[in-house]
Structure formats: structure tokens, C-alpha cells
Structure 1
Amino acid sequence: MIPFDLTGIDFCMTALFIIIFMDQLEKNKDHFPAVVGIVIAIICSIVFGSQNFMFPSLIISSMILLVKQGGTSYE
């Protein structure tokens, strides 16, 4: 098999998500999804710890955004 080195992938993924976040803040007028993501990630990081916060924060943020979208019409 071909050896595959993942050294540095954590830095690349972090940089990618920061760029996506900054792009959303610049291009969208509604900052609600970005604020929800940050707030929920911080809360889940405190509650679940830095090793286990990603999945709960993803689920909670998705639920909040789905509930908000259900009450809003995007026509």
C-alpha cells in the first residue's frame, strides 16, 4: 500500500473552517447561523470537554437552525 502521511491536516482543516466562517460573515446579511455555531460550540466545549464537543454542538446547532428555518419563508 502507498503510505499516507496526515501530518499538518489538523492545521489545514482549522484554516479551512475559519475561511468558510469569515466568508459567511462577509457575504450574508443574516449572521444568526454564525452566532449560533460559535455560541453552541463554546457551550458544548465547556459542558462536554474539548475532545467531545463537536458532535453535540453539530446536532444542537442543526436543530436550532432547522427550527428557525421552519418559521421563516425564503421565497
Structure 2
Amino acid sequence: VLMSAVAFCGSMQFVAITLLTTSFDPIQAFFLSLMVNARHIFYGLSMLDKYKGLGKVKYFLIYTLCDETFSITSSINPPNNINRKYFLFSISFLDYIYWILGTLLGSILESFITFNTTGLDFALTALFIVLFIEQIRIKENRLSGIIGISCTLISLFIFSSNNLVIPAMIFILISLIVRRKLPCH
């Protein structure tokens, strides 16, 4: 529960179990953390304008920017009569509290749950597919989606499936930064 509150990044929490149960290699831990959570760089870049001008609450919003929070906050705007800062804060705060309470509830109830979880690991892959589809449904996001797919395919072709993640992320990051700097954007 403490880890869920402090290290608010679900996928890294699963990886941390391995890191905590094997001999500690700080360089490996750093690169593993970077690879597992690199998508947050892209989330953060795309949220720069949305979080602009929110004062100190912006730091909490950045800290709690996870897959689910990004999916919600990037695709909706607050109603006209709702303050944008409190709207975004409420979404982020609720996601954060749900994660901590879910961890607490899971740790209490895990001994009572005895069903076979084979195949459940696909749920994370399915989550990312759904998040991607929801994002590209928005016309303004389609070019970013095409950039992501293209850079990944180029990396696959050049580096093979065993080594494509880091190069693809670098290509995507460079492409998105260049796109942001273009005067037509």
C-alpha cells in the first residue's frame, strides 16, 4: 500500500518486486525503470498545454499522470461552469486514491480469491490497445498515432523485435518534438 502511494506507477510496481528480490544493480534498475515508464514522457509532453497556468496543483497532476489519468484528462474538457484546475485535480486525485484503495483491498482479499488467473496478463495489453484507439478517435491525435506506429515499425525493421523499444521511443520523441516546433502546429 505504501508503494502504491509513493511509487504511483503500476507497471513499475510489478517490476519492483523482481528488483527487490534479486541482487541490486542500480544501473539495471535505472534502465529498467526508464524503459517501463518511458511512455510517461510522451504523456507529459502532450499535456504541457493542458497543465499550463494551474499553479502548484500542476506538480500533483504531473506526479499522478498515469495511463488511466492520461486517457481521461487528455480526451475531455471540463464543463463551462467547472474550474479547469479543480476538474483536472479531482480526476487525478480520484485515480490516485482508487489505486491505493485497490491495492489495500487486493492485499486484504487476495487470500480469499482462488480462481485461475491464466491469461489475465493480457489485460494490460488490452488496456493499451483501448487507450490507443480512444486517442486516435480524436482527429487532432491521429498524426501522433501515425508517428508512433511508423517509428515503431521502422525500429522493428532496423533493430528487430528484441531491441525495438528504446529506439522506437527515441524516434517517437524526436518526431513529436520536431512536430511541436514546426510553425504550422
TM-score normalised by length of structure 1:
0.74
Deviation of residue 65 (structure 1)? Answer: 0.3
1:68 pairs, out of 157, 171, 179, with 179
1:14 pairs, out of 116, 119, 125, with 125
Deviation of residue 72 (structure 1)? Answer: 4.4
Is there any run of 5+ residues in structure 2 with no aligned partner, and where? 1-16, 18-117
RMSD between aligned residues: 2.2
Q: Which runs of 4+ in 1 moved over 4 A?
A: none
Deviation of residue 70 (structure 1)? Answer: 1.4
Q: 2: CA distance between counterparts of 1:56 and 1:66?
A: 15
Residue 59 in structure 1 maps to residue 174 in structure 2: no
In terms of mean alpha carbon deviation, does 11-20 or 36-45 score higher?
Answer: 11-20
Q: 2: CA distance between counterparts of 1:69 and 1:29?
A: 13
Q: 1: CA distance between counterparts of 2:124 and 2:143?
A: 23
Structure 1 match to 2:136: 25
Structure 2 match to 1:37: 148
Alignment length (residue pairs): 68
Q: 2: CA distance between counterparts of 1:16 and 1:54?
A: 18
Is there any run of 5+ residues in structure 1 with no aligned partner, and where? none
Q: 1: CA distance between counterparts of 2:148 and 2:127?
A: 16
Residue 48 in structure 1 maps to residue 159 in structure 2: yes
Larger of the two Rg values belongs to structure: 2
TM-score normalised by length of structure 2:
0.33
Change (3 A) 1:18 1:72: farther
Q: Is the 8 A contact 2:135 2:141 kept in 1?
A: no
Deviation of residue 73 (structure 1)? Answer: 7.3
